[in-house]
Amino acid sequence: MEVHDMTRKAYMIGTGVGNLAAAIYLIRDGGFNGDQITMMGLEDHGANDGAAVKDYEKEYGNQALSNSKGFLAKGGRMLNEETFENLWDVLRSVPSLDHPGQTVTDDILNFDHAHPTHDVGRLIDSDGPRVKPNKDNYRHMQFDNKDRYLLSKLMLMPEKDEEKLNNISIAEWFASSPHFFTTNFWYMWQTTFAFKRASSAVELRRYMNRMILEFSRINTLEGVTRSPYNQFESIILPMRKYLEDRGVTFINNRKVTDLEFKDTPLQDDIIVTGLKYEEVDNDNKEGHIDVAENDLVFDTNGSITDSSSLGDFNTPFKENMDYAPSAALWKKASEKFYSLGNPDKFFGDRTQSEWVSFTVTTNSHFLVNEISRITQQEPGNALNTWINSTPLLSIVVHHQPHFKAQKPNESTFWGYFMYPRRNGDYVQKPVMEMTGKEMLEELLGHLAEVDPSKDNIKNHTQEIMDSIVNVIPVYLPYASAMFNQRAVGDRPDVVPKNSKNLAFISQFCEQPFDMVFTEQYSFRAAQRAVYTLLNIPLSEMTPMHHYEKDPKVMARATKTMFR
């Protein structure tokens, strides 16, 4: 490691979990003082959000809500104890905000071990949860031999040959076996990890290798590690507190609009010399930061919650057509250097990536108790998917409370539609046009259809509606953009070739083996960025597990293929 220069500065563009992790690596492993680090973002949470609805009013000031009560989490992020090596390592350095003497890793793993996930209502069809002891029981993967052959061929493809999958979708890979898309495996896999048929076959290959330990228990989701509260409160806030206590400067509502580069012969070297920005809460006042050649710049080159839009119980959202702001900065840089990837592959086709989610807040536990009765599982036991739902509806009822500010009588849960341009089955309009109330009505219709009780849930519709504090629908145009079809080179390296002081940390940079749509990917990119720019040997990076090389794990996976 090079001798640290105490005058050196680090500028973090974006305040999501990746840059928070990079700042911790700079301090913990790189010898930086906190006052050498400045973090700039449009808000204080990145994609790991979760708060009272009123706390979003400043962020979404242009979208006046008639009802700002209740809680909101735009999305859910699953953790995994066995494969999130970088995340657990970093969070072992971050003190718990709730339990003095413990770390955030202690907080999460202790909670998870006390409340282990065991999903018993993972898939639901017109007969209810697929738990009957027959061929439809979701313990059975339902593969035929062609499915097994194609999935095995994909998984066993050497990493060096990934370019053979350039711009190939999952639908194209399985074109000769459409049966694959009717299996329990596909219904579970796509809604657990957010794949679509249009998603990249490369990413499915990476997931099958990296998450092969979970393949044999995908039906119960026992490998899902849950945090005590939403991840903003359980992960982001402790990380911010750790950094603030060490003198790191946080500047919210600052949008970096352009990177300035040094003119070099043939544009061979990438050296950031300045940052242009706007203060979005101060009449878009423009500013400039001079960046010395020895300073470091870490850019979040793409966020999956960019350009999202909100509605409320009585108001549908209005689709935000803006190109993702974080990717717009990346795009400007990619137009100046040939080695910085192709952001349009991920942010130019919303049909591959869009979702709609909704967060329900109630002032009683009646609805959550009814969901538990119908799905046959307690809150906190992961995911329920209605496989006959035209827009493919799933819900997650978290362990309660999911927000620290929840009152004892309040419940919250979250759901999402993977195909929001399709009509609902009980509300005859596209999900994109629904109010929060109508999304709840769509869910209640599916619950009533499979309710075996004589006192069907539909008999309690008014009681449920009277209990609603709010239902917040959110349009997420880029929710699974990292899975879009891509080719080798479309994602820039974490530290691009010939870059002297610029690194990318996000779900849209390139790393070997690891899988996107995980905090692990962002944490590992942060370590790779810091170690590369500070000349710390990459051999000292946190070791990763390779369960795909474990004979016992592979034997279980093979058995599961035929289950």
Angle between helices 145-155 and 201-210 (to 10 degrees): 80
Q: 527: closest CA among 12, 30, 5?
A: 30
Query: What number of residues does the chain have?
Result: 563
φ/ψ bin of 435: left (φ > 0), alpha (ψ from -120 to 50), beta (otherwise): beta
* Cα dist from 71 to 49, 50, 78, 252, 362, whole Å: 11, 7, 19, 21, 10
- Active-site position among 207, 229, 521, 531: 207
Edge-to-edge strand list for the sheet holding 468-476: 128-129, 123-125, 383-386, 393-396, 411-417, 355-362, 468-476, 309-310
Rounded Cα gap, residues 313 and 441, in angstroms: 11
Residue 316: count other Cβ atoms within 10 Å of its Cβ.
23
Rounded Cα gap, residues 162 and 139, in angstroms: 31
Rounded Cα gap, residues 547 and 156, in angstroms: 13
Residues in contact with 62: Cβ distance below 8 Å, sequence separation at least 6, in sequence order: none
Question: Where are any strands of DSSP class E within 34-137?
Answer: 37-41, 51-52, 71-72, 123-125, 128-129
Q: What is the CA radius of gyration of the chain?
A: 23
Residue 24: count other Cβ atoms within 10 Å of its Cβ.
26
CA of residue 393 relative to chain centroid, distance: 18
Which is it for the CA torsion 325, 326, 329, 335, positive or negative? negative
The answer to whether the peptide bond before residue 401 is cis (omega within 30 degrees of 0) is: yes
Q: 225 with 108: CB under 8 angstroms? A: yes
Active site residue 25: no
Rounded Cα gap, residues 323 and 325, in angstroms: 6
Q: 21 with 90: CB under 8 angstroms? A: yes
Q: 298 with 503: CB under 8 angstroms? A: yes
Dihedral (Cα; 305, 308, 312, 313), 10-degree rounding: -70
Rounded Cα gap, residues 217 and 382, in angstroms: 13
517 CB-contact burial (10 Å; exposed 0-12 / middle 13-18 / buried 19+): buried
* Tokens at 60, concatenated: 């979404």
Give the containing element (helix H, strand E) for 256: strand 254-261
- Three-state DSSP state, 483: helix
- Strands 296-299 and 10-13, bridge-based pairing: parallel
Catalytic residue numbers, as ranges: 207
